[in-house]
Amino acid sequence: MTQPRYNIYFIVHKALRANMAHVLEQLGACDWTDDEDTAQTLTDLRNLLLLCESHLQHENEFVHTAMESRAPGSTSRITLQHEDHMAAIAALREEAEATRNGSRAQRLHAGAALYHHFSCFVAENLEHMLEEETDNNAILWQHYSDDEIRAIEQALVASIEQPKKMLLMPWMLTATNAHERSIMLTVLHSQLPQPAFASILDLLSSRLPQREWLKLPPSLRAAASLAA
């Protein structure tokens, strides 16, 4: 049986899909006449759009640059999609701000429109991410070894500002399965100072169902006990 190649998109796209689904649900369920509900929903949207924008920029800088260096012209189609998504992000931000500043009555109409427009954004992104995971990976696998792909990913991750990492981390850890989550936490445990790792465990314990929490290796659960 052939060993699967390293997939640079796999985990981060799981996280983005989960975050998009959450925000889509929040927008659909929001009571736009409730100031607190409106503020929280639009904050969730703002944070997601920030992550989407950052993700596009990092793919352009690291992944697309690598693809073009060994397969010139290979990113032309996907780059145009990125430009469209950047424009969509800017439009959604403007629409969200207008919704935030509207009266309660105005927010009922504006919120419904925002929900529909965001739905289109999610649909386009789901198709886009699948294309990256198939077509882009095929190019990367043809021209790069797994170790080289991991090096591209490591350089990309190292460039991400810490606040953005902390926005994305909960989604990466909750959108993955138990095996993937354990691998990520084991790596983080070896790399982070205890207080930083403890904060991640504390966040994760509040978001993971108990059944999933108990699937963590005993060593990680022990670290969580020490953090507590």
Domain residues for 199? 177-228
Which amino acid is residue 97, in one-letter code?
E
Kindly state whether residue 66 falls inside one of the protein's structural domains.
Answer: yes
d(CA 26, CA 64): 33
For residue range 168-207, what is the model confidence (pLDDT) as tens digits?
999 999 999 999 999 999 888 888 788 778 888 888 888 8
Tabulate helix, strand, coil % of the chain (nearest 5): 85, 0, 15
Co-location of 21 and 132 in the same domain: yes
Q: How confident is the prediction along the chain (228 residues), in pLDDT tens digits per residue?
A: 567 899 999 999 999 999 999 999 999 999 999 999 999 999 999 999 999 999 999 999 999 999 999 999 999 999 999 999 999 999 999 999 999 999 999 999 999 999 999 999 999 999 999 999 999 999 999 999 999 999 999 999 999 998 898 899 999 999 999 999 999 998 888 887 887 788 888 888 888 899 998 898 887 877 765 555
Co-location of 76 and 141 in the same domain: yes
Q: Angle of helix 162-175 relative to helix 10-29, nearest 10 degrees?
A: 90
Backbone angles phi and psi of 185, in degrees to 5: -70, -35
Co-location of 42 and 113 in the same domain: yes
Kindly state whether residue 1 falls inside one of the protein's structural domains.
Answer: no
Co-location of 150 and 204 in the same domain: no
Give me the pLDDT at residue 202, please.
Answer: 82
Give me the pLDDT at residue 149, please.
Answer: 98
Kindly state whether residue 171 falls inside one of the protein's structural domains.
Answer: no
Task: Please give the tally of structural domains in the chain.
Answer: 2
Taking alpha carbons only, the member of 180, 169, 188, 189 closest to residue 212 is 180
Co-location of 188 and 129 in the same domain: no
Q: Is 159 left (phi over 0), alpha (psi -120 to 50) or beta?
A: alpha
Kindly state whether residue 170 falls inside one of the protein's structural domains.
Answer: no
Q: Is 73 left (phi over 0), alpha (psi -120 to 50) or beta?
A: left
Co-location of 145 and 194 in the same domain: no
Co-location of 90 and 42 in the same domain: yes
The residue out of 160, 185, 218 marking a domain boundary is 160
